[in-house]
Amino acid sequence: MTNLLEVKDLVIKFGLRTGEVTATNGVSFSLSKGERLGLVGESGAGKSVTGFSIINLLSKPGYIASGEVNFLGEDLSRVSAERIRDIRGNRISMIFQDPMMTLNPVLTIGTQMTETLHQHNPKMSKEEARNIALDKLRKVYIPSPEKRLRQYPHEFSGGMRQRIIIAIALLTDPELIIADEPTTALDVTIQAEIMELLMELCETERFWKFRKRHRNKIM
């Protein structure tokens, strides 16, 4: 069975004025379909940077110095900008740390969900996009999703927002989901809820990769 994701000898460096800083030095791991993988490390160990490098979104002074990121046999660190955009959010999606920040404050949840769908499939009808969005919201146990679709992010609690972000990550049925410390910003009971939800979705839905926080007990 071919691996879904294979990271080989990944070296990420940050070019600074004072010289180069190596963020990750030869990271290798592989992940097959349906498998979960957790990355544990202290803060600053390079977990987030590794995650961003998979979808080729390292922010400016950072770059991939050597190594490969193979996603279904394709080296994502070398493909064209259009190709990677097609993969991002469509076949690989990502869940961020802080649910308070990752939703656009002035757009309704419904707009944000349907826009993501339209970006990857411009021909999709509005009705169809809405139905997919409703379906995903039900999967993450958002009560009365029809009403919720018309609400803005500030009308949700932190835990609810993280559920919505998970629902957005699920929208296009991606093969791989990178979860970058998805519970850092939440309190302990909600952390447990979100983790349970993610675990459950792993079983029923798709293939996941977890990148998780440095607190081992949640791993």
Partner 1 sequence: MNRLDKFRESFLWYSFKRDKVAIASLIVLMVLVLAAIFAPLIAPYNPYDPEMIDIMNSEIPPAWEEEGVAEFLLGTDSQGRDMLSTMIYGMRISIIIGLGAVALQAILGVLIGLFAGYHGGRMDAFFMRAADVQLSFSYLMVAIFMSAILQAVVGVAKFGEIAIPFLVLVIGLSQWPQYARTVRASVLAERKKEYVEAARVAGFTSSRIILDQIFPNTLSPILVLSTIQVANAVMSEAALSFLGLGMPIDRPSLGSLINSGFELIFSGAWWITALPGLLLVILVLSINMLGDFLRDVFNPKLYKG
- φ, ψ for residue 189, nearest 5 deg: -65, -40
Answer yes or no whether residue 53 interacts with partner 1 by CB under 8 A.
Answer: no
Shortest separation between residue 6's beta carbon and partner 1, angstroms: 21
CA separation for the pair 119, 132 (Å, rounded) = 14
Which positions from 66 through 85 interact with partner 1, judged by CB under 8 A? 85
Answer yes or no whether residue 55 interacts with partner 1 by CB under 8 A.
Answer: yes
Residue from 21, 101, 192, 199 touching partner 1 (CB under 8 A): that is: 101
Burial 64-99 (b: 16+ CB within 10 A, else e): bbebbbbbeeeebbebeeeebeebbbbbbbbbbbbb
Assess contact for 211 and 179: CB atoms under 8 A: yes
- Helix and strand tally (H, E) in the chain? 7, 7
Which positions from 152 through 171 interact with partner 1, judged by CB under 8 A? 165, 168
Stretch that binds partner 1, among 7-15, 27-35, 95-103, 126-134 (CB under 8 A): 95-103
Answer yes or no whether residue 89 interacts with partner 1 by CB under 8 A.
Answer: yes
Site residues (vs partner 1, CB under 8 A): 55, 57, 85-90, 93-94, 96, 98, 101-107, 115-116, 119-120, 165, 168
